[in-house]
Amino acid sequence: MSYEVPHMAGDDEIEFGSLPEGGWPRWEAFVRQRGGLSHVYSESVHAPDAETALLNARDVYLRRVEGVSLWVVPTADVHVWESDSPNNDPLDDTAAGSSLWEIFVRHRRGLAHVHAGSISATCPADAVDRARNVYLTRDEGVSVWAIPASSVIAADPAEAAALFEPFADKDYRYPTFYEIPEEVGYM
């Protein structure tokens, strides 16, 4: 019986492109869990574009929690203010037209940033100021992230079945699925 050797493009046949310095850019991922009221910060992923960022965030952060909604944001679009950091980078205060900003607040050190709500503002500095006035009046936060609403890429609710449901019946994704042999002892 004959068989095929896979065809590989030889080095002489292709023109080499170049990868961006430092690999793919970073994106921040936010998940709303089933029964949850707000989107909560998960962590970041690397991806070449928004579509891949969504798919990567889905694969990395929805394996062990039951999500119902997923947002990703280019890390470069997250404007940060921290209560106990004297060296907060000065935020851009060049006022443009008023636009919508999504505000995330970290209530205590060790907790994740949680979506607090949306406000209108004219620039990153304005957004953080307003967010502190609205959400931190009683010092109930240690860090604020302001993100232009236009930078938030949300998973299409119409695709929820393909994005979120396949994880539901796979209990082998949880560490508790596996029995640890007695000989191993405490891990």
Partner 1 sequence: MSTDFYRYLLRHGDDNLVLSQRLSEYISYAPELEEDLAVANIALDHLGVAMHLLEYAAGVGDNGHSADELAFHRSERDFTNLLLVEQPNADFAHIITRQFFFDAYQVGLWEALIASNDETVAGIAAKASKEAAYHLRHSSSWMIRLGDGTAESHARTQAAIDALWRYVGELFESDTLDEAVSAAGLGVNPASLRAAWEERVDGTLNEATLSRCEDDYQRNGGRRGFHTESLGHLLAEMQWMQRAYPGMQW
Binding site residues, partner 1, CB under 8 A: 1, 3-4, 6-9, 13-18, 23-24, 45-49, 51-52, 55-56, 58-60, 63, 159, 161-163, 165-166, 169-170
* Least gap, CB of 50 to partner 1 (angstroms): 10
For residue 71, CA distances in Å to 11, 31, 110, 115, 157 come to 40, 6, 21, 11, 11
* CB-nearer residue toward partner 1: 11 or 139: 11
* Least gap, CB of 161 to partner 1 (angstroms): 5
**Hey, what amino acid is at 105?**
V
* CB-nearer residue toward partner 1: 139 or 179: 179
* CB-nearer residue toward partner 1: 72 or 114: 72
CA neighbours closer than 13 Å in the CB half-sphere of residue 58: 22
Contacts of 141 (CB under 8 A, 6+ apart): 83, 105, 106, 107, 135
* Least gap, CB of 115 to partner 1 (angstroms): 23
* Least gap, CB of 78 to partner 1 (angstroms): 19
* CB-nearer residue toward partner 1: 14 or 37: 14
* Least gap, CB of 49 to partner 1 (angstroms): 7
Helix (H, G, I), strand (E, B) or coil at 172: helix
Strands 114-121, 153-154: pairing kind: unpaired
- Residue 81 CA to residue 33 CA, distance in Å, equals 26
* CB-nearer residue toward partner 1: 46 or 130: 46
Region of 110 please: left (phi>0), alpha (psi -120 to 50) or beta: left
